């Protein structure tokens, strides 16, 4: 049974994903309570309540959980113990078990392998001997990644030859890592999947993602993937949702090879940067879908009648002063989203632009040109 209007949904994390979740939840008639250590986070600017406390403050978590009717998260590095502490009082969606699986690259890849879902070939690395063995087995170039806390290219480095292996591991602090075979891919794509309490699912995508300096730059829907690859990605995303017993929304990122094979790169049990375009492109955005599933409502169809694109706005745009926001008005159909962050830093996500158009190429052109026009 779904929660009635005016129930309160809690969210661990106060960034822009939490902000957009809160806005969508409020549109559905729910109140929102944010739990985040930062006092003036983006999500708190639109939420009804905000608990400012550490993720390891279990007394504060218990009080927070008893003030809400269900909880979700906006980033996957929320401590599993925090999610499980809240789950003593209310449903947490996704649950701590799913969070545990995806928080560690080694566990995540082991899970995918056991589930028979294609992922990049990998080896676990916990010692010099294991590193040398992994390099011999997978060859070079290869990518060495820490098992925890990696995002936007952080916590990883490329090993060009076997001679570079030890220096690369030292660069990453000699923490537990996974070595992944370097994949020559045609494109990077992502699929959103939502699953409700009854096991019904809805998907959207794939989107095609272009990165700059390891940070997502532009996403375009639909991807240029052949139909067989697109279908394989959607089916794999649905299988991931079933295998981790997802209730909520997740994004599954893939490498697509030149032969049309798709391999899972990462699983994010939350809304995703590439899915921001669903706010304009779909009747039900990824954030509304998250709110629906967390509240126990059935999933809704995520369909787009026209192609769409999204371009990130990073703190770099502020290097010459406040961007020229009026310039966006020159591009009909382009929508501006700012996250309310007070300090612009290089590489920091400050907002995004979206466009819906008749073709994917036109939508991408619009967001790229509109972003370029912001620079003073």
- In this prediction, residue 320 carries a pLDDT of 87
Identify any residues that bridge with 31 across adjacent strands, giving them in sequence order: 8
What is the residue-wise DSSP string for 164-188?
GHHHHHHHTTT-SEEEEEPP--SEE
- Summarised one tens digit per residue, pLDDT across range 214-233 is 899 999 999 999 999 999 99
Residues 69 and 90 sit within 8 Å (Cβ to Cβ): yes
For tokens 């929508």, what's the residue? 335
Whole-angstrom Cα distance, residue 61 to residue 56? 8
CA 251 to mean position of chain CA atoms: 6
> How far from 311 is each of 57, 246, 275, CA to CA, in Å?
37, 28, 11
Q: Which residue has the tokens 């309570």?
A: 33
**Residue with tokens 């966006």, as numbered in its chain:** 328
DSSP 9-73: EEEE--SHHHHHHHHHHHHTT-EEEEE-SSTT-TGGGTSSEEE---TT-HHHHHHHHTT-SEEEE
Q: What is the pLDDT of residue 150?
A: 62
Give pLDDT tens digits along the chain (376 positions). 899 999 999 999 999 999 999 999 999 999 999 999 999 999 999 999 999 999 999 999 999 999 999 999 999 889 999 999 999 999 999 999 999 999 999 999 999 999 999 999 999 999 999 999 999 999 999 999 998 866 655 688 999 989 889 998 899 888 899 999 998 999 999 999 999 999 999 999 999 999 998 899 999 999 999 999 999 999 999 999 999 999 999 999 999 999 999 999 999 999 999 999 999 999 999 999 999 999 999 999 999 999 999 999 999 999 989 999 999 999 999 999 999 999 999 999 999 999 999 999 999 999 999 999 999 7
pLDDT given for residue 183 in this prediction: 87
CB 15 within 8 A of CB 41: yes
- The span from the first CA to the last CA of the chain, in angstroms, equals 52
| Residue whose C-alpha is closest to residue 90's, from 296, 300, 298 | 296
Give pLDDT tens digits for 60-98.
999 999 999 999 999 988 999 999 999 999 999 999 999
């Amino acid at each position: 049974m779904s929660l009635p209007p005016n129930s309160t949904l809690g969210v661990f994390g106060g960034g822009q994903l939490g902000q957009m979740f809160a806005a969508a939840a409020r549109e559905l008639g729910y109140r929102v309570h944010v739990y985040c250590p930062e006092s003036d986070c983006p999500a708190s600017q639109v939420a009804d309540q905000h608990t400012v406390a550490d993720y390891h403050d279990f007394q504060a978590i218990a009080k927070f959980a008893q003030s809400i009717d269900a909880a979700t998260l906006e980033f996957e590095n929320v401590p599993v113990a925090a999610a499980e502490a809240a789950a003593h009082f209310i449903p947490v969606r996704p649950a701590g078990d799913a969070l545990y699986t995806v928080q560690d690259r080694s566990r995540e890849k082991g899970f995918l392998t056991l589930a028979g879902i294609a992922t990049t070939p990998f080896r676990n690395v916990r010692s010099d001997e294991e590193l040398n063995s992994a390099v011999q087995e997978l060859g070079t170039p290869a990518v060495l990644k820490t098992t925890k806390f990696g995002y936007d290219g952080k916590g990883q480095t490329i090993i060009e030859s076997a001679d570079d292996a030890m220096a690369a591991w030292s660069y990453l602090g000699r923490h537990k890592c996974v070595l992944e075979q370097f994949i020559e891919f045609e494109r990077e794509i992502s699929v959103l999947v939502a699953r409700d309490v009854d096991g019904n699912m809805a998907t959207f995508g794939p989107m095609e993602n272009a990165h700059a300096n390891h940070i997502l730059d532009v996403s375009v829907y639909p991807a240029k993937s052949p139909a067989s690859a697109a279908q394989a990605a959607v089916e794999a995303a649905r299988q991931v949702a079933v295998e981790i017993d997802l209730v909520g929304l997740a994004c599954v990122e893939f490498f697509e090879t030149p032969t049309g094979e798709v391999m899972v790169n990462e699983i994010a049990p939350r809304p995703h940067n590439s899915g921001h375009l669903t706010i304009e492109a779909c009747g039900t955005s990824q954030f509304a879908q998250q709110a629906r599933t967390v509240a126990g409502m059935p999933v809704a169809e995520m369909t787009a009648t026209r192609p769409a694109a999204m371009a990130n706005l990073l703190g770099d745009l502020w290097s010459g002063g406040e961007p020229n926001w009026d310039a966006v008005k020159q591009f009909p159909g382009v929508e501006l989203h700012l996250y309310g962050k007070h300090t612009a830093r290089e590489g920091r996500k400050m907002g995004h632009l979206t466009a819906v158009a008749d073709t994917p190429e036109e939508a991408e052109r619009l967001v790229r040109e509109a972003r370029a026009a912001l620079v003073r």
